[in-house]
Amino acid sequence: WVHLERLLRHGILRQCQSQWNTPLLPVKKEDGSYRPVQDLRLVNQAVETLHPNVPNPYTLLSLIPPTACYFTVLDLKDAFFCCRLAEESQPLFAFQWTDPGTGTRVQYTWTRLPQGFKNSPTLFGVALASDLSSFPTSPRRVLMQYVDDLLLACSDESTCMEATKDLLNHLAEAGYRVSKKKAQICQPTVKYLGFDISHQRRTLREER
């Protein structure tokens, strides 16, 4: 309930009355806590699939300049929740919640892109790419995007630090939040898309 309460408080969920209703299942997280995950399989079957625009990781990584020596990797926090869901689409994603304290049943739906919806990665990727299109780059500071995972490849440490500050400000102004826990800031070697990335080297990680 704490998780749902937080989403309601931030306006990511709202009460509704909808003819649609899909199950809400508890999924265990790495820290042992649980988070509710919606089973959207029936919705996904009923909705037309958008053609994904996600680049091939190998193709994307081949674009890293050979001069790049310092890197920053940023992972966006609650990425899909940065994108508003059209009001007419919101009833499709309704679910029912029973308050364990009172036994009262309430129906909620999402106001932002929900996790588990098959088109969320594509829709989010397009929105983020549009927001990043105005970020200034050069041969000395190259920005790459794979859904919500961002890589800055820079020629030296000072350029990387400046580009990282610029990117963090750019993302904040556009309404995105960065995961501090997953951030890798101005490092000669970083983990990205299952690879160890360093100067003129890309090594596939064993746990990939």
Q: How far apart are the first and last CA of the chain?
A: 33
pLDDT at 159: 98
pLDDT at 3: 78
pLDDT at 199: 94
Q: What angle do CA 147, 126, 85 make, to 5 degrees?
A: 100
Name the phi and psi angles at 173, rounded to 5: -65, -30
pLDDT at 100: 75
pLDDT at 1: 63
Measured between alpha carbons, how far is 142 from 153 in angstroms, rounded to an integer?
A: 5
Let me know if 162 is exposed, middle or buried by CB neighbors in 10 A (0-12, 13-18, 19+): middle
Q: Which residues have a Cβ under 8 Å from the Cβ of 26 and sit 6 or more positions away?
A: 34, 35, 36, 37
The DSSP bridge partners found for residue 35 are 27
Sites in the chain below the pLDDT cut of 50 = none
pLDDT at 135: 97
Ordered by where they begin, the domains of the chain are 2-204 (3.30.70.270)
